[in-house]
Chain A
Amino acid sequence: MKVRFLANDSLVETEAWALAPALDFIRGELRLTGAKEGCREGDCGACAVIVGVRNESPTGLRAGSGFAYDAQPSCLLALGELEGRQLVTIEGLAAAGPTPVMRALAEANGSQCGFCSPGFVVSLTAYLINGDERRGALSVEGAFAAVEGNLCRCTGYGAIKRAAARLVEEFASLPLDPYARLDALVAAGVVPASCASFARGEILPSLARGEPSVEGGSLALGGGSDFFVRNPHPDPAAFPAFSLLDREPALRRVERRTAGGEERLEIGAALSWREFFSDPDILKLVPGIERFEKLLASPLVRERATIGGNLANASPVGDLTAMLLALGASLRLEGPTGSRELPLDELYLGYKKLELRAGELIAAVILRASRPFSLFNFEKVSKRERLDIAAVNTAAAFEAEDSAGGGPLIRRARISAGGVAPVPLLLKKASAFLEGRPLTAAAALEAARIAAAEASPIGDVRGSADYRRRLLERLVLAHFVVLFPGSGVEEAIS
């Protein structure tokens, strides 16, 4: 099996193992040592590279174009994922001398020891290509958000912020049309000319489609954000066969379907988190869900991690899992013996034990569109607000209506919780308690109390058991404070 891709502006064809971390191939075989290994688990951003794709699933692409360039952590990237794509490394960016991004950082003194620097350059460069929400417009806040996955231990970020703000100013008038913009960035020396050619299919047209060139098999790799953390140096002998779900177009679509008279949204399980949070159908169905994207990992990781991976990973604190549990999602599972549907809350049997048969894949996540929840909220507390795993998370979805006299009447309620049991929990009792009740302060306090009683947390480095239980109670209350302002809940909390 061969992997063929464009490394900066030269074609690479390799027989190397397609499941090897791209970072090792880039540093070892390509001898491009600008991408650094700082952690090998997606947490520092020092290994970031830009990956260019074209002619792929429309969800992955820059709005209104046939291509996309995104920054990704190469330590969580399988070499095989590069098939048919363009890898742009810091060396590729710097081929014609320091770029405006490098100059801005240098002028602000944003590089002290320098070990993090290539990663920051890569993230900021990808931001200039994409802009906010990949619609092109730049903002200082957006530029800050773009480096949320990059750690710097030296600068304290002051100089990096100043450089980012300067870049936003300098490039304020970039065209919004993706092709014109790429040309402008080439002209300004931000990205190499090969990007504009690759995006248009002018170079290496034979690679126009990233055909999955890896054989199917036992390991299904989603974004690798969990796999590579658990297998930092995967051994080829241990994974003789695998498939890269990223390369299955059927798993990367969002489709509206009607089945059994019910309208539903089928979300391909290999959708990346970023794609999930920017899909118009999903945003329409779950109002405000995009507000919570920033609480999940980092921009770099969100480019890689898939929703299916979050569900299959079965972490008790999976954030998307908590959200989808509250939203009443079901799954379409596909395996050797066919396809079946399973409500998500029946997937988890015990700690990391799933109701998945051998060879079965999560193919899609299904949300019912006929009777959407009108209110949705997500709460997560972690030691660091960004790029951290929750001590406790919880999501709540309500269908509520104004009732005469009392507070809003809750018709349907689904509250989930993570980090408080061996599996992601649907808080059935607390949810049931609320259904059919007007939301009063007393009801909210009681629901939160019931929720805490449903929890059976353990203590670990992210929080003691006792803390987790108390925190869950507070976070359930937070749902009401956020979703039912003026209901008197806030005043009742002590």
Chain B
Amino acid sequence: MKPTKESELNLSGATRYLDDLPATEGMLYGVPLTSPCARGLLRGIDASAALALDASVSVLTASDIPGENQLGEAVSDESLLVDGEWSYLGQCLALALAATPSLARKAAALVRIVYDELEAVTDARAAAESGSFILPSRTMRSGDPASAFSRCAIVVEGRVESGGQEHVYLEAQGAIAESLEGGRVRVVSGTQAPSGVQRAIARTLGLGMHDVEVEARRLGGAFGGKEDQAAQWAALAALGAARTGKTVKVYLNRREDMNWTGKRHPYSSDYKLGLDAEGRILAYEADYYQNSGACCDLSPAILSRTLFHAASAYRIPNLRVTGRMCRTNLPPFTAFRGFGAPQGVFVIECALDAAAREGGWDPVELRLKNLLAEGDSFHFGQPVADCRARRTVDRTLELSRWTELRAEIDSFNSAHRLVKRGAAILPICFGVSFTKLVMNQGGALVHVYGDGSVSVSTGAVEMGQQVARKIQVIAARSLGIPEGLVRVESTRTASVANTYSTAASTGSDINGMAALAACEEIRGRLLGLAARMLGADKGELRIESGFVTKGCEITELAWKELVDKAHLDRIDLSAHGFYATPGLFYDMKAERGSPFAYHVYGCSAVTATLDALRGTYRFDEAFIVHDVGESIDYDVDLGQVEGAFAQGLGWAALEDLRYDERGRLLSDTLSTYKLPDLRFMPSAVKIEFLEGAPNPKAVMRSKAIGEPPLLYGIAGYFAILDALRAVDRTHPTKAPSSAPYAYDLPMTPEKALDFIQGVRR
């Protein structure tokens, strides 16, 4: 890849993130005072000691909110500042404002509250038992699983746990709000969803959306954590600005961010899988207990993705899957790359693992036998189209020399007692589109300036996924000009309105298409002009490398000259583009429809080495064959696969999110919450993009890339499990039937040793 200006700016330390913006004259810093226990009733707030600290101090509470004290988008169950009962530890009760960050911190610490502590629940199943749900449960079915089970030769049942995951975007959450004349506010927010933040601020301040301008500059990572959850900090800053008339900055530190913001949902699930004597899946049932946390946030949409991906890449004729959003007293869990799919995929993979053991089948054969193919349908009725499951799996088996690899591992294992190797294969099939229909739309605004340079604004937020780079390529190719002439702007609600969060891997699909539409509009106008200038037929003209071409010949007419002439001729050099993903429909009652524009396929193979003496493990190799359609930028797509795989592997075998039973986060720093470092990753990672696989359903025949590869990491879990099973356990059945199951993600050295020593089944 040619080094882009952007990445050189990042690498030179020149890029300004939120906390790097210079403080303005008179700026105030806001530090929230948060709830001290998981559930409580606020009886009073006494800010006198805080106010006495310094003249610059003020303390805002719920009664200072001029509009609606409400943030919840899907369900109105989330106040900006608590007024009455709070439902998780770390919920904002008040906002202390002061002239310096340290004064604000001190002031917040001096605010006294009077409260009653109430009983809290943190466990999803416990919440379910007491009937505490966010929304009613949701079930998808196909065929008749109940009667299918009676025809099965083998039925396995069990329980699967998967832990939460902290985003650890390296840049913490925050916002800076500036109070403008006439009560308006302008906010720089670290958000993936500027329009959502705009809506939240308008709602809480009682303003029209046209009084609120939100800008999202480049974010230092987001991964879903700055969708709904960024609104709170922006709304608090805006509240501060509105009340004081000053610029207010709210910027969390790492510990605050980890304690106060939501993460990937932990799930506890039950499965039942039935197969015939040949290993064909006949029936599957699963019940997912999603720990949704205290508020709705994005939980329903995340749950629906779990249900849509319940069968992963497998053909399951009879299926019943039910998801429950269990309301607990933990911070609201939220979007995280994969958005519920990883949790669902992990369950079916555990079920297949159990079935392979029970039936004595080779785990890969079993998966191949049940792999989705053209002509199948997903359990929600959408036909499987342009299926690349088998192609990617076959290529992965080749790339990893699977048969030889397996034989090498087996002979290694018989030669070693205290070191064991393991391997696993994992196919993926990930549906692209927001599962919430309305979100599948986006806009773009393109200006061509008089000197031929181009500004592109879209609803896409640049957060490291390099969507700006893709949009730059799309615009440059569409206009036929060098990439250097195209600037992709930060994301502003005043430029592109009513956007949805940059998420669901759709960032470049939707915004790229919208940008393309705007560019094509302008190109059409310019080619019309060129046709007149050259006396040619518009149909035979194109713009390439900055020149108008006619058929195969390059004319003398340069881009810049053309633009100049267009301006003199009073031709509009700006255009707005819009895109709504076509062909999507879904009937929520029947749970049938075509919710996805297309699916992304792929497969990973991961190998691990286990130190059976110490219970530690390392990943050796990973092989990934990924279906990216036609890549818009190879390096960007490669980076997305590598980065998502790392997060998936971290979720599967390292990242250990822990709350105590009273709802206090135990892993609330980077010293207690570990995420992948360079050494954690397999020493060799081979990634290949499926060849000759254009995707007619998305911009420039590409495929969305952000989330699907996260699933590959799950193979890491099973690779360790495979190695664990090779350990000569003198007491393999020592584990009592009450012992916890092995299907408990993340794998940790502790769980590995438990398994080795027969403390876990």
Contacts and interface: CB of A to CB of B under 8 A. Distances in A.
A319 interface: no
A475 B615 CA distance: 10
A185 interface: no
A470 interface: yes
A490 B418 CA distance: 8
Interface stretch (B12-20, B120-128, B302-310, B420-428): B12-20
B757 A470 contact: yes
A438 B731 CA distance: 29
Interface string A380-412: 011111111101000000000000000000000
B678 interface: yes
B613 A156 contact: no
Given A106-B4, A107-B1, A481-B613, A461 B635 contact: no
Given A121-B11, A474-B613, A112 B464 contact: yes
B175 to A, nearest CB: 17
Contacts of A158: 638-639, 642, 681, 685, 687
A488 to B, nearest CB: 12
A112 B677 contact: no
B669 A113 contact: no
A70 interface: no
B244 interface: no
B749 A36 contact: no
A107 B634 CA distance: 12
Given A144-B678, A389-B671, A491-B417, A114 B750 contact: no
A157 interface: yes
Contacts of B757: 470
Nearest to B658: A461
B589 interface: no
B604 interface: no
A467 interface: yes
Interface centre among A153, A233, A235, A470 (most CB of B within 10 A): A153
A153 B642 contact: no
Nearest to B635: A109
Interface extent on B, as a size class? 35 or more
A147 B677 CA distance: 9
B13 A103 contact: no
A266 interface: no
B221 A153 contact: yes
Contact of B669 (A41, A46, A154, A491): A41
Interface residues of A, number: 85
Interface stretch (A27-35, A195-203, A349-357, A419-427): A27-35
A142 interface: no
B548 to A, nearest CB: 33
A391 B672 CA distance: 11
B477 to A, nearest CB: 19
Nearest to A468: B750
A386 B618 CA distance: 12
B13 A35 contact: yes
B168 A153 contact: yes
A258 to B, nearest CB: 41
Interface string B671-682: 110111111110
Interface in B721-761: 728-731, 748-750, 753-754, 757
A109 B636 contact: yes
Q: A interface, by DSSP: helix, strand, loop or mixed?
A: loop
Given A154-B639, A155-B643, A463-B750, A144 B169 contact: no
B252 to A, nearest CB: 11
A381 B614 CA distance: 7
Interface stretch (A54-62, A86-94, A130-138, A324-332): A86-94
Contacts of A114: 6-7, 9-11, 15, 218, 220, 464
Contacts of B666: 460-461
A347 interface: no
A151 B753 contact: no
Interface in A1-56: 27, 31-41, 43-44, 46
Nearest to B614: A381
B702 interface: no
A463 B643 CA distance: 28
Nearest to A44: B670
A39 B20 CA distance: 16
A103 B170 CA distance: 22
Contacts of B678: 144, 147-148, 150, 157, 160-161
Contact of B679 (A41, A148, A229): A148
Nearest to B634: A109
B596 interface: no
B170 A115 contact: yes
Contacts of B641: 156
A477 interface: yes
Interface string B619-663: 000000000000000011011011111110000001010100000
A249 B219 CA distance: 44
Contact of A106 (B3, B168, B681): B3
A383 B654 contact: yes
Given A41-B670, A159-B642, A233 B13 contact: no
Given A33-B16, A112-B465, A113-B221, A106 B11 contact: yes
A37 B253 CA distance: 8
A494 interface: yes
A232 B253 contact: yes
B186 interface: no
A107 B3 contact: yes
B464 A494 contact: no
B171 interface: yes
Interface string B335-372: 00000000000000000000000000000000000000
B681 A156 contact: yes
B416 to A, nearest CB: 10
B616 interface: yes
Contacts of A152: 170
Contacts of B4: 106
B680 A384 contact: yes
B233 interface: no
B8 interface: yes
B550 interface: no
A98 interface: yes
Contact of B13 (A91, A379, A386): A91
- Closest 9 interchain pairs by CB? A34-B13, A113-B464, A114-B10, A115-B220, A156-B646, A106-B3, A90-B13, A156-B642, A94-B12
Given A94-B11, A481-B418, 5 more contacts: A34-B14, A36-B171, A106-B3, A382-B749, A467-B750
10 contacts: A36-B170, A91-B14, A106-B4, A112-B639, A117-B11, A148-B679, A154-B639, A156-B681, A159-B635, A383-B748
Interface of A: 27, 31-41, 43-44, 46, 89-91, 93-94, 98, 102-103, 105-118, 121, 144, 147-148, 150-161, 229, 232-233, 235, 379, 381-389, 391, 460-464, 467, 470-471, 474-475, 477-478, 481, 490-491, 493-494
Interface of B: 1-4, 6-17, 19-20, 22, 102, 105, 167-171, 218-221, 223, 253-254, 417-418, 463-466, 613-616, 618, 635-636, 638-639, 641-647, 654, 656, 658, 666-667, 669-672, 674-681, 685, 687, 728-731, 748-750, 753-754, 757
